[in-house]
Amino acid sequence: MEGAVALGMRRLSVIDLAGGNQPIHNENGSISVVFNGEIYNFRELRRELEEEGHIFSSHTDTEVLVHLYESHGRGMLDRLNGMFAFCLLDRRAGRLFLARDRVGKKPLYYAHGDGAFAFASEIKSLLCHPAVRREADPAAAALYFTHGYVPAPFTPFMGIRKLPAGHWLELDLASGEIQVGRYWDLDYSQVDEDLCEEEAVAGLESALLAAVERRLISDVPLGVFLSGGVDSSLVVAMMARFREGRDIHAFSIGFHEKAFDESGYAESVARAWGVDHHVTRFSDAEMFSVIDEILPRMDEPLSDPSLIPTYLLSKVTQDSGIVVALSGDGADEMFGGYPKYYIHRYAAWLDRLPGILGRDVPAWLFSQVPLKAENNIFNYKVERFVSGLRLAPRHRNQFWVAPFMPDELTRLLPEQEVPRAVWEVTDQYDSRFNGRGVVDRMMYFDAKMMLQDMYLAKVDRASMAVSLEVRSPFLDLEVMDAAVHLPWQLKVRGRETKYLLKKLASRYLPHDVVYRFKRGFGLPLAVWMRTLAPRISETLTQGDCGGIDAAYVQSLLREHLDGTRDHAVKLWAVYAYLTWLRNWGGS
């Protein structure tokens, strides 16, 4: 503490265990920092700074930040390759300087008002501050149910904001005024249309190998998540270029229910590279039992049910003595991994139909699709696709994967008008997109919104709940730069997603691992909802439901239980929200 300023930090020690305690200061103590994350190029930066005359007192990556700021000010951010959220106290200029990494691997929340400014890695910390009021944001529920998360800069609370990825914030300590600015964005305007496939594969391989090697720097035991999908499997194979297989500790989880168990693919990759493979299989009951363990910890609602297996995987990894784990996160958003990217191209053809045809063809298509009585998941996806055709491309990209469509939202939250923010968040990114083509545009939206505010948030909350750090080579600065320079045809070709990445992976992995059907964390969500149904019904009768129409949710439950419709996605989103509301949303 110093005057009106207090900096605090609870450290997960990874590099320089003894000498890296925070805050860390520069030579004369005029600049101090608290920092969460890793700077992967800190050794190169340290050499440069020492050549400039800076004197270091530790071997931690954190200390690079104070000296880099001393020399470059805000420009320091252009030099960093890493995942980070930090706050620098600049006593010379009388200000705080905060920043968040380019894609939002590390969270950073802040509250400003009533003569106070507070920041933290978690909302729950800010709620302990006497100047921060626990006042719900009326627009947050609608934002959550139409995205599956609350997109930055919003949070569920009026007085609390998220600093968006790739942004900085300055607080003038004398005036109390803040300024927020963007220092980085994905730029698709410099695509190399003349790049041949072989050159593209070679360039990507070089960048990804370097990214993996950078993420192996650690003074604590290090492992890797291995799902058996192409992304995590490629990370494992590339780790084996730098370490003996027996020194690589790979962790997978599986399910007793064969329809959802993909651990066999992970075992195939582990055998191919001779890694030390740890597989833990869970029953539905065991998976279900941890829902009450992790959901109440979520101080911001997330509708992604893979939070549960991610938490379990993190837990078994950390229980084995691992402190740092690599993962395959970010590959889908950088290299075109979602089927909706090629579906957007089909939808664009329908968009070109004139007037009445453009309005009537989607409805006619839905009437012609042979819905399957035995496959409600298929029916749900078909209905969602056709409904999304009525929206602008940027909004259908959002609503195709959202829990609730706009017309459904008015039934769920009847006392609210659909706030403009539901549309404006996507519109804002649409105006910022710098590039051409629908595929790159939609990947940009997903990287700026879904990746930042749901998938990376899920991994951070699930892993840090057990004190495990997760590193993502696909979100390395050089790898992302390589990705945005690729023509979209090398990402999505016909109905083949991640085309170029799979070409690279086929040099390292068995064919059936590279080209199998993508499942991700396949979950028996529909079964879970049958088990959770009584609990959801009971919760709807207990106090404030945040404006949710309980009768509408009960109708969804009845249709789901009698098997006429699959409402698992909607019901899980409602349950996650109500759990958040009961634990954090009250006054």
253 a known binding residue? yes
327 a known binding residue? yes
Of 344, 574, 545, 353, whose CA–CA distance to 441 is shortest?
344
Is the C-alpha dihedral spanning 513, 515, 516, 522 positive or negative?
positive
Q: In which element (H, E) is residue 277 found? A: strand 276-282
Give the E-state strand segments of 95-183 in sequence order: 95-100, 109-113, 116-120, 160-162, 167-172, 178-182
Q: Which residues contact 281 (CB under 8 A, 6 or more apart)?
A: 253, 254, 255, 256, 261, 263
- 61 contacts 68 by C-beta, under 8 angstroms: no
Q: In which element (H, E) is residue 431 found? A: helix 421-432
- 63 contacts 57 by C-beta, under 8 angstroms: yes
Name the 3-class secondary structure at 170.
Answer: strand
Beta strand pairing call for 469-471 and 24-25: unpaired
Amino acid at 402: A
- 445 contacts 425 by C-beta, under 8 angstroms: no
Q: How far apart are CA 87 and CA 97, in angstroms?
A: 6
Strand order in the sheet with 116-120: 116-120, 109-113, 160-162
Amino acid at 577: Y
Amino acid at 199: E
328 a known binding residue? yes
How many residues are given for the chain? 587
Q: How far apart are CA 582 and CA 45, in angstroms?
A: 46
Q: Residue ranges for the binding site? A: 61, 253, 327-328
Q: Residue ranges for the binding site for L-glutamine? A: 61
Q: Residue ranges for the binding site for ATP? A: 253, 327-328
